[in-house]
Amino acid sequence: MEGIESLMRHVYIFPLIGASLGILFAAAALVLGYLLPASMTAIGLLLVIYRICGINHLDGLGDFGDGVTAHGDPEKKIRALKDVYLGSGAALFIIMVILTEFSTLSSIAPSALPWVLVAAEVGAKQAMLTFAAFSAPFHRGFGSIMIEKTNAKHFIAGLAMSAVLCSAALGWQGLVVLMVAAASALYLARVSARNFGGGSGDGIGASNEIARTLALLTALALQSGVTSWMPW
Domain contains 167: yes
Domain contains 8: no
Number of structural domains in the chain:
1
Taking the CA atoms of 213, 218, 108 and 18 in sequence, report the sign of the dihedral they define.
Answer: negative
* Integer Cα distance of 208 and 98 in angstroms: 13
- 199: helix, strand or coil: strand
Domain contains 9: no
pTM of the predicted model as reported, rounded to 2 decimal places = 0.90
| Integer angstrom CA distances of residue 176 from 26, 99, 169, 207 | 20, 22, 12, 17
| Integer angstrom CA distances of residue 212 from 6, 88, 104, 184 | 26, 22, 11, 10
Domain contains 232: no
Half-sphere CA count of 73, side-chain side, radius 13 A: 1
What is the secondary structure of 137-177 as a DSSP string?
Answer: BSS-SHHHHHHHH--HHHHHHHHHHHHHHHHHHHTHHHHHH
Q: What is the pLDDT of residue 231?
A: 41
Confidence of residue 145 (pLDDT cuts 50, 70, 90): confident
Q: What is the pLDDT of residue 212?
A: 97
Side chain identity at 72, as an amino acid letter? Answer: G
Confidence of residue 74 (pLDDT cuts 50, 70, 90): confident
Domain contains 26: yes
Give the model confidence (pLDDT) of 127-136 as tens digits.
999 999 998 8
* Integer Cα distance of 109 and 216 in angstroms: 12
Q: What is the pLDDT of residue 2?
A: 62
Domain contains 231: no
* Integer Cα distance of 3 and 162 in angstroms: 25
Query: Considering only 37-41, 79-83, 102-106, 207-211, which range has the smallest mean pLDDT?
Result: 79-83
Domain around 116:
14-221
Give the model confidence (pLDDT) of 6-49 as tens digits.
777 788 889 999 999 999 999 999 999 999 999 999 999 999 99
Q: What is the pLDDT of residue 186?
A: 96
Residue 232 or 164, more confident? 164
Give the model confidence (pLDDT) of 157-202 as tens digits.
999 999 999 999 999 999 999 999 999 999 999 999 999 999 988 9
Domain contains 106: yes
What is the secondary structure of 175-196 as a DSSP string?
Answer: HHHHHHHHHHHHHHHHHHHHHH
| Bridge partners for 137 per DSSP | 199
Domain contains 162: yes
